[in-house]
Amino acid sequence: MITPPENDQPTPSAPADDAAPLEADPSPAGSAPDAEDPAADPVPVPEGTVLLVRRERAPTLGFWVVLAMMVAAGIGVIAAVVTDTLFVSGILRFAATSAVFIGLPLAAIAAVADSVRHRRRERRR
């Protein structure tokens, strides 16, 4: 049986052996860090880090391409059902053929429309 501790105070845990103690900043509060000392940089910036921000809620080009291909594949499945194709391989062939011959041209139209829309938008710099 486990008995609760006598007092309700939590027991402090010992610091880990590999944890380094916190040290106070040796430089005065008003002095600026030395430009030559890279260790004095207050905010280290990792190299190669990129932060991308979407400024509008419009769907991306990839969304439109995938949507065009899925709509075309759905049209192919409907065409397969209408023509009484009962085998899975026939239905997949209809779907893939319509995705290529209908979906790719729709995706190309979406890409052109997206590029025209981005060219007409004002530059923000």
Q: Per the domain annotation, does 56 fall within a domain?
A: no
Q: Per the domain annotation, does 40 fall within a domain?
A: no
Q: Per the domain annotation, does 95 fall within a domain?
A: yes
For residues 80-104, one letter each, b for 16 or more C-beta atoms within 10 angstroms of the residue's C-beta and e for the rest, the string is beeeebeeeeebeebbeebbeebbe
* pLDDT at residue 48 in the model: 78
Residue tagged 């430089």 (tokens)? 27
Q: Per the domain annotation, does 97 fall within a domain?
A: yes
Q: Per the domain annotation, does 100 fall within a domain?
A: yes
Q: Per the domain annotation, does 90 fall within a domain?
A: yes
Please name the residue ranges forming H helices in the chain. 61-82, 88-98, 104-120
Residue tagged 């981005």 (tokens)? 118
Total structural domains within the chain: 1
* pLDDT at residue 100 in the model: 94
* pLDDT at residue 53 in the model: 76
* pLDDT at residue 17 in the model: 52
Q: Per the domain annotation, does 71 fall within a domain?
A: yes
* pLDDT at residue 121 in the model: 72
- Domain span at residue 97? 61-117
Q: Average pLDDT per run of 10 along the chain, which is 125 residues long? A: 58 53 54 57 69 76 92 95 93 95 93 86 60
